[in-house]
Structure formats: C-alpha cells, structure tokens
Structure 1
Amino acid sequence: MAPKLTVIGTGYLGATHAAAMAELGFEVLGLDIVPEKVELLSRGRVPMYEPGLEELLGRHVAGLEGASGRLRFTTSYEEVAEFGDVHFVCVNTPQKQGEYGCDMSYVDSVVESLAPLLRRPALVVGKSTVPVGSAARLDARIRELAPAAEEIELAWNPEFLREGFAVRDTLHPDRIVVGVESERAERTLREVYATPVSEGSPFVVTDFPTAELVKTAANSFLATKVSFINAMAEVCEAAGGDVVKLAEAIGHDDRIGAKFLRAGIGFGGGCLPKDIRAFMARAGELGADQALTFLREVDSINMRRRGHMVELTRDAVGGALLGKRIAVLGATFKPDSDDVRDSPALNVAGQLHLQGAQVTVYDPKGMENARALFPTLSYADSASEAVRGADVVLHLTEWREFRELDPTELGEAVAVPHILDGRNALDPQLWRKAGWTFRALGRPTA
C-alpha cells in the first residue's frame, strides 16, 4: 500500500511539493500554522504566483469540483501525525537578523511540535535548506521526543526548485538527492519518487552531511558563475569590450556552458544570497572558513552591481538625481515570479528614491509584494504608464513583456528617450534605431 504523505509548511516549496505528490498519486495532507493560508489552499488558490501551480492544486484539492480529492490541508499537528507515514518538512530557513547565519527556528519548531506525537513508524524528511550538521542534531532530538523513537527515522532530501519552473522541477527533477542512514529509509523514498526515477531522474543516495551540502554547494556555484560574468562586465566596460559577445564565446565551451552567463545587476531572491552567507557562516563554525573566503567576493561583486546601476542612472540624467523622473521596469528578482525578496530591481529603485529621484515602478506580477516592501515608491499599472514623462527608463527584470515592448511607441511617452538595460535582455539595435540612447552593463555605448 502506498505511503501517506504530509507536507509541513505550505509556502512556495511546500505548496508545490504537496500538489506534485498528489499528482504522482499519493494521498497528501498539508499543514500550516497560518489558518488563512490553509483556507486559501483548501479553495485551490495559492498565496504566491507560480506558473501552473494553481491548476495543479485544482486537480487534487478535496472538495473542488472534478478534483481527485487526494490533497487536503490542516492546522493540526495531531491530524498530521495520525495521518502520515512520510512527513516532509518544507518550512523557511531565512538569514538571521543582523548576521550571516541561518535561522533554524522554524525547522526546530516543526520537530518540537511533531515528534512528541509520533506513536507509530514514520519517516521524517527534511527538504528545507539547512546548515550542514543539522540533520544529525534533529535526528537525535526526534528520537528523544517521539514515543515510537526506535521506529522513527530521519532523511534529508534537498529541494532544487527554480521559481517560475517549480512544478516542472518537482514532477520531473534533474536529480533526486537523499541523505539516509538505513536501507529502509532509502526504500521508502525510492517508492515516493518511483515515477520520476522511472522517467530517468538520477537518484543519488548519500549520508546526512553530503545531502545537506548539495544545495548550498549548487547555489554557491551558480552565484559564483553570475558574479564571474558580472566581474567580466566591469572589465569590459573599462576596456571597451562587449560582455554579451564574451559570454557567448566562452559559453560554447561545454566545460563552462552558456547558462547563468548573462551579465546584469546580479542575483537576488530568497535563496542564493542567504544560502551563500549561511554557508560561509557554517564553514567558519566548522573551522573551514578559508575554504569559502572566495564567496565573500562573489557576494561583494553581486552587491556592487546595484550601486553601479545607480551611478549609471545618475550619469544618464546629468549628474544629479534630485527631482528626476525615473521609470523602473521590473520589481521581482526574476521573471515568472512575484517574489521580491532581496530583489536587485527594487533595491536599485529604493536607492534612487532615497537620493531624491521620483521613481515609478511597474512589474507584471510583483506589484502587490513590492508595495508592501517599498510603500514610498510610486507604482504604475502598465509599462507605458510607468515611463510617461520619464527622464530615463531602467529595465531591471527580464520579463518577456518588456522584451516585446515597442520602442517607438514608448519613445512618444517619455521626456527623454534614454534606456539603461540592467539585464542585457533587450535588442540595442532595435532601441537605437527608434531614436533611444541605449546603455547596457558591460557593453559598448554605441
């Protein structure tokens, strides 16, 4: 008989995992301590924008017309403990306030709430990104608290979701990593992931520390790649080179690859920045801090890009920002998401506003979250409204909608046809032909 699954924490990761597991045929019970979120999900609605997720939920949430009924949501740990054979822990692990380390309070809270209720055999599976060493500590704590201690096991199964592709990444993962301490735990997870494994997803079995390190290692590598090409953009600007052509040329080398080589204002979001900082902090605790000192420069290059965009904007309007009208296209940290956490686009908009500019922002999906984070900025309902009367336009999130804008039409609305492409995603020839002064990071000015 197939195991019954629970998913604890129904944010971005948890809601996607719960819906995907129901799609794979399992009975799933999702838990969240926020009643409003449970109520929303129970209506087949999601509290964030993620392509395809709401449709997936709608196919499985109990009580919805035509749904399989395999997916339900609750606020009760007792119900979860009674229902589940496999409990997935999907809560947030943010950066600690005022320091680099990872805040484990949400994960610890799950263990403290769930473990005392586990009275029969079960597998607890961590999916949250945690500092290496956490799994061993949590395993010991579960055994301490659980009435069925000897029959409770822990596994670590890191997530590799990309916002905008989360549904696909869960149903068809490019790899499944499981950190286990017994064959029984491995067998259970092979059963849970039987469908993607049968379709060719690699199934990598490791110990606890390796499984915990995989996600932070992957994110650190990607962050390094982004910062590398942004460092090359700085050199290109100094030397009069073209970073886009440089990236194309080195990207043809299959040892390097073309992905993550688009120079711009850098990375943001809820994962890469906080994960590399937590990784550095943990390496320091383990006495291996020298191994990761390069990540400080990766982080520094990334943050420097935001300041550089502010400087380019100041230059574009003649050297003084006070009173200048600036249109910012993009608020989310990446396209196909409504996530504005540590968004370079919003950070630049906020810095310009603090320096006296009149900043108007437009984003296809991130407006509500942006307003909540930066209520003092102005917001428009469309790109054409945002650019009206602007002295300079900043393209800071590479939404397809922005790539498809008509430069001639937009040129009629602005005060000065001047655009800065902070994502190297627009066609310079097209914009220059329409009469715009076009500048992109790391590219020739003409």
Structure 2
Amino acid sequence: MTIQRICCIGAGYVGGPTMAVIADRCPQVRVQVVDINQARIDAWNDADLGKLPVYEPGLDSVVERARGRNLHFSTDVEASIAAADMVFISVNTPTKTKGLGAGQASDLRWVEACARTVAKAAKGHTIVVEKSTLPVRTAAAIQTILEAASEGEDQPTFSVLSNPEFLAEGTAIRDLETPDRVLIGGDDPAAVEALAEIYANWVPQQQILRTNLWSSELSKLTANAFLAQRISSINSIAAFCEASGADVREVARAIGTDSRIGLKFLNAGPGFGGSCFQKDILNLVYLCRHFGLPEVADYWESVVALNTWQQHRIARLVVQKLFGTVTGKRLAILGFAFKADTNDTRESPAIRICRDLLEEGAQLAIHDPKVTAQQIARDLQQEAAPQPDALSGTGSWAEAGSVEDAVTGADAVLVLTEWHHYKVLNWMALAALMRKPAWLFDARAVINPEQVRAAGLTLWRVGDGEG
C-alpha cells in the first residue's frame, strides 16, 4: 500500500507544521491541508511568509520549500478527501465547558464531524489517521461512523490509525525533523506500514514504534501527564525553597544529576500552559473516574490543582510585596505567550496572573513580541482601555509597543515568558524609567540577579529563598 496523496483536516498548530515537514521530506507525496477557516488558509497561502498563522522557528523555510510544489492549502474539504489515500484528522479537541464531563472530558464534536465528512466524501480505500489528541477508544467511535458508510457494494472502505503528535511549541520543526519517536497504533498491519513508510523517509526505523490503537491513544495522554507532573513537582519545591532559604535551581541541579531523574522539566516557573498539558490531564482524570479508579483520578487532578495554585500564589505575592495593594499601580508584564518562541497563549500562566491583578485594580502594560492585542483581549475577556483614575479601583490593561514603554512609570515588572530578548535587557537604563521603590518579579528565573540589584531594583525570583 503506497501513499501518493495525503489530506489533513485542520490547518492549526499541529496540522500545518506536521504536513509541511511531511511534504518537505516526501516530495513524491502530494499533501493537501484543508480547513473551513478561509482566513487561516489565506494566511498559509500568503506570499509573505511572516504572515503564516502559526509562529514556529524554522517553519517559514519549510513552507517556502514545499508550498506550491507538493504542499497545498485549501478550503475544498470534500474534494481533497475524495482524492486522498490517507486522511489525517488534526482538529481541536478542547475540554468540554458544559454537559456530561464538563471541565474534564474532551469535546469531540469536531472529530466526529470530520469522521462523518470523510465517510461521505472518501473514494476507494482510505486510511484515516487520528492526529488530534483523543481519549482512549475514540478510534472505536470513528470506526463505527466509517463502517456505516462502507455498507453495500462499491462503497468506500477504511482503516483507522492513531498517530499522536509529540511536539513542543517553539521547537516543533526540530521535533518533527528529528523526533525521539514516532508512534503508530493500529490493527491493520498494511495501513500501519503504509504510514511507517512515510516517516521512514527521514526517521530511522528503530524510532518508529508500533502499538495497538488503545496504547497509542493512551501514550499521548500519559506523556503529557508525566511532563506536567514534573513541572508541578518542581514548583511545589520552589515554594518550599522560598520559605526555607534554599535555592530551587541548586536543588534541581542536585537531583537532576541522578540518571533516574534527569535535568529536563526541572525549571521552576509560573506553571505549565499550552493546549495540551491541562486538557490531557483533565481528560485522563475523567477517564479514570469513568473506569472506576477515583484514587488515580485524584492523584492526577492534584497536578492541575497545584499548577493553578502556583499562578494564584505569584499574583498574591506581587500584591503583598507592593505594600498590600496594587490598586492604581502600573505593572509592566513582559511576556504573554505560554512559552518563548510561540504566539500561542492557550492556558498561558500569564492569563490567570493578569486576571488576578486586574481584579486587584492594577493597571497593566503588557508587552509580548508575538502575541497581538486582540488575542490578549480575548484571553483576559477585557478590552484594552486607557488608565482610569489611579484610585478608582478598576483594573485595566494596555498593549505596550516596547519594553521601555511598558516599564515607564511602573512600580514593578513581571517577567512571565522566557523570551530571549528579556534575558539581555539593560536594567540600569530601565530602572531609571520606573517609579521608586521599584520591584522586579522574575517568574521565569531568566534575569541576571546581580544586574537587577545593581540597578537599585528589589528582586523576587521564583524558588529563591533570598527573595
């Protein structure tokens, strides 16, 4: 079974970069990325590569090489499915906000809609690949929908595979080009090998893992749960370090040299964000309760609870340090994306911290090199506004065009995203623009403490017992 045409439904953070790399590495395969969002498709097709809808280092070069050759972006969903040998489903699976499982279970309405569209439009035999992160046994629902379309003579037939993504935003292209592993789950050996052959164009065979469908689906949830667990664990120790006089970076270095633990994901900070960690853990919690494992559910739920606590703790700490009130005070927020090298703000720690400070009446000046003011407004559920009367008690925020604009007149600076630019700022010059006494709250521990203190700023650094 040789794959000549691929269709990917969903042109977002996963579908776009993944298909771009497949097209780049497999010039013999025609790759069509489809989405019903016309504006998103227009952005992927824009001659200005700086306007791609996803910011990811290296993505523009990959798209430039493949687009128009064997990589195409379109809103013609059904025709693209009909022409494809293999269809990837790469649509959003957010946490449900209402109904059964609200707050924990995944909302699968778009996955089901994709399956029904594939069932309607496919011709001949089509391999359907789950690329979205899905609950265990979602493939059974997809198979049921597709099988209903296979009844009768001359009807399409289908094989369903699970091929979860293991991408870190900011390094997604590197993760795709040199992956730790590629995981393919399925019960049809021919379909599994057809997909494996695609990846084998650039991935060594020993790194292409084959499992059954359910193990593949669960592996994605488990990987994210384990990584998030490490972040919550080190943040719990960071709080203890601040209380006891220890330094969390020294503790992390000491335990990270243990080969059984390792150094990765031991950087204390404002907590995890992004589209996957919280969503996937809550999904795992829901599934554990569904299968009668409440103790296991409680354990994983505590990872999310501590992450939320860490963000509220940082906001409370800012208020406490600034004489018990931030009402009317200007606070410079450096970074709104959930991590550096991405414009993604989903579940960003900055959202909860900023909301808490707005509730306290703060006047926020927010700077981020890649996040738009429109996105910040959506996340904070509050439009940007001029600063009201300082003692009105009403919190407001405004976009700052530069770091200098953000800190001018500010009582404090909060570093919430570890953008490289923030690591090399001239704090002597910036401190002169601030109102005294001035604070720097480094929630990412990326600023040079000696330079900050030499500039006359009072420093709090996450996990630092001297703060």
Match of 1:164 among 170, 177, 193: 170
Is it true that 1:363 corresponds to 2:363 in the alignment?
no
Cα distance in 1 for partners of 2:9, 2:203 equals 24
Structure 1: runs of 5 or more not aligned: 63-68
1:218 and 2:219 matched: no
Corresponding residue to 1:382 among 402, 405, 417: 402
SS in 1 for 2:323: coil
Q: Which amino acid aligns with 2:464?
A: R
Is structure 2 residue 181 aligned with structure 1 residue 180? no
- Aligned positions, number: 439
Aligned to 1:84: 84
Say whether residues 1:125 and 2:129 are aligned partners.
yes
Q: How far did 1:150 drift?
A: 7.2
Separation in 2 of the partners of 1:40 and 1:422? 34
Residue number among 265, 272, 282 corresponding to 2:270 in the alignment: 265
For residues 25-66 of structure 1, the C-alpha deviation after alignment (integer angstroms, 9 at most, x for no partner) is 22101111112222222235521211122222122222xxxx
- Secondary structure of the 2:281 match is helix
Quickly say closer, same or farther: Cα 1:201–1:428, change in 2 above 3 A. farther
Q: Determine if contact 1:396/1:423 at 8 Å carries over to the other structure.
A: yes
* Counterpart residue number, 1:444: 465
Structure 2 residue aligned with 1:109, among 107, 113, 116? Answer: 113
Matching residue's letter, 1:43: D
Q: How far apart in 2 are the matches of 1:344 and 1:182?
A: 42
Query: Displacement of 1:237 after TM fit?
Result: 1.9
Q: Provide the residue aligned with 2:442 in structure 1.
A: 421
CA shift at 1:197, angstroms? 2.6
Aligned match of 1:60 in 58, 66, 88? 66
Please list every run of at least 4 consecutive aligned residues from structure 1 whose deviation after the TM superposition is greater than 4 angstroms.
147-150
- In the superposition, the TM-score normalised over structure 1's length comes to 0.95
**Cross-structure match for 2:5:** 4
Q: How does 1:347-358 map to 2 (within 5 A)?
A: 347-358=352-363
Instruction: Write the mapping of 1:330-345 to structure 2, written as runs, cut at 5 A.
Output: 330-345=335-350
Q: 1:394 aligns with which of 387, 390, 414?
A: 414
Q: Distance in 2 between matches of 1:33 and 1:201?
A: 37
Per-residue CA deviations over 1:313-343 (Å, capped at 9, x if unaligned) read 1122111111111111111111101111111
Aligned to 1:34: 37
Q: Is the 8 A contact 1:173 1:201 kept in 2?
A: no
1:371 corresponds to which letter in structure 2?
A
**SS at structure 2 position matched to 1:267:** coil
Query: Relative to structure 1, is the Cα distance of residues 201 and 347 closer, same or farther in structure 2, using a 3 angstrom cutoff?
Result: farther
Amino acid at match of 2:257: H
Query: RMSD of the TM alignment (CA)?
Result: 1.6
Aligned to 1:327: 332
Asked if the contact 2:285/2:300 (under 8 Å) is kept, the reply is yes
State the one-letter code of the partner of 1:72: H
- Please tell me whether the aligned partners of residues 316 and 392 of structure 1 are also in contact (alpha carbons under 8 angstroms): no
* 2:133 alignment partner, SS class: coil
Residue in 2 that maps onto 1:432: 453
Q: Where does the alignment leave 5 or more consecutive residues of structure 2 unmatched?
A: 385-396
Write the deviation string for residues 121-141 of structure 1: whole angstroms up to 9, x where unpaired.
Answer: 121111100110101221122
What is the aligned counterpart of 2:242 among 237, 243, 261?
A: 237
SS at match of 1:78: helix
Superposition pairs for residues 190-209 of structure 1, below 5 Å?
190-198=196-204, 202-209=207-214
Counterpart of 2:41, as a letter, is V
Q: Match for 2:287 among 258, 278, 282?
A: 282
Distance, in Å, in 1 between the alignment partners of 2:309 and 2:82 is 51
Identical aligned pairs, as a percentage?
A: 34
Q: Which amino acid aligns with 2:134?
A: V
TM-score (norm 2): 0.90
Deviates more, 1:153-162 or 1:277-286: 277-286
SS of the counterpart of 1:322?
Answer: coil
8 Å Cα contact 1:317-1:324 kept in structure 2: no
Q: Is the 8 A contact 1:7 1:17 kept in 2?
A: no
Return the alpha-carbon distance in structure 2 between the equivalents of residues 159 and 346 of structure 1.
25
Q: Specify the code of the residue in structure 2 equivalent to 1:410.
A: L
Q: Amino acid of the residue matched to residue 177 of structure 2?
A: L
- The amino acid that maps onto 1:399 is W
Whole-Å Cα distance in 2 between the matches of residues 339 and 42 of structure 1?
Answer: 20
Most deviating of 258-267 and 42-51? 42-51
Separation in 2, partners of 1:47, 1:74: 14
Deviation at 1:161, TM superposition (A): 1.0
